[in-house]
Amino acid sequence: MLALSALVLPDRDPPAAFIADVQQAEAAGLRTVWTYDHLTWPALRERPWYASVPLLAAAAVATSRVRLGTQVATPNFRHPVTFAKEIMTLDRISGGRLDIGVGAGSEGPDALVLGDPPRDRRERAERFAEWLRLLDQLLTQPVTTLRGERFSAVDAHQIPGCVQRPRVPLTVAAAGPRALRSAARFGQAWVTYGPYGGQVDPESWFRAIGDQSAALTRELEATGRAAASVRRIVQLALDVRWPFESAARYADFLGRLAALGFDEVTVHWPRADDGRGLPADVLESVLAAHGL
């Protein structure tokens, strides 16, 4: 049976509302609660928007079982040295319940906010590969010195290190060949939102994620890792509704994901203020479909 996780957006205001949503998700039995690691989000640009790391720290001390994580941290505004220190600290605060979602990032506001020039997909993929290599080393070694083309660390101390060994699990968001290669090399999990570039019809969506999953398997085989060594996660976009049209439709949705080798599905937790995310009136049936 596929695990169920949820995204709680960092726009819950006041922040105590974010904590309340995380606690409700924990009480419902969800595996992981993720939040977006962005500085803003175009779809909700005029709303309050809080930083992910302080929110996750607060959630860690307000919960005891549910895993917590980012979806997804990127090189757009994160440097590996400072981010590794925050990851280690969060893992300690949570008692080893942290997952970190990482990705190359998009060409949106996070990529422009620091005044950097626009980058095409190839450049973003190359920056991500270098960023991820350094982040991995920082999280697994007590002291790191490494000079790269784009990112460097000099005598960077990570003491006492992560609770989870050899480091916090990384969930790599990937659709293209370069990012899937990074997922196969560094990831303990892989997350996909479906085909790059917007919403498509359900059948095209299933074909796309099936092709992506098959490509990941090939990359894993090339690196000598087993296909089952990486958890496969589908994350539904905020306004996707078709899987929830009926209990039968959702059961079919889960069955097709399982047949494609997926382990987990992530939905947006119900949002009472704007009605987006998982429809509140189907929450109980969705939980039941996952045995919760």
* Domain boundaries defined on the chain: 3-290
- What class does CATH assign to 3-290? alpha beta
Quick check: 37 and 52 in contact, CB under 8 A?
A: yes
Res 274: pLDDT: 87
Mean pLDDT of all residues in 16-22: 98
Please determine, for residue 233, whether its predicted confidence score (pLDDT) is greater than 70: yes
Res 239: pLDDT: 87
Q: Which of 155, 105, 102, 154 is nearest to 125 (CA)?
A: 105
Distance CA 143, CA 150 (A): 19
Higher pLDDT, 174 or 43: 174
Confidence of residue 273 (pLDDT cuts 50, 70, 90): confident
Confidence of residue 272 (pLDDT cuts 50, 70, 90): confident
Res 198: pLDDT: 62
Quick check: 218 and 261 in contact, CB under 8 A?
A: no
Mean pLDDT of all residues in 15-26: 98
Mean pLDDT of all residues in 165-179: 95
Average pLDDT, the chain: 95
Instruction: Calculate what percentage of the chain has a pLDDT beyond 70.
Output: 99
Mean pLDDT of all residues in 11-25: 97
Mean pLDDT of all residues in 167-180: 95
Q: Which of 234, 240, 256, 282 is nearest to 5 (CA)?
A: 234
The DSSP line for 221-290 is HHHT--GGGSEEEEE--TT--GGGS-HHHHHHHHHHHHHTT--EEEEEPP-TTT--SS-GGGHHHHHHHT
Res 107: pLDDT: 86
Res 46: pLDDT: 87
Res 53: pLDDT: 98
Please determine, for residue 70, whether its predicted confidence score (pLDDT) is greater than 90: yes
Confidence of residue 133 (pLDDT cuts 50, 70, 90): very high
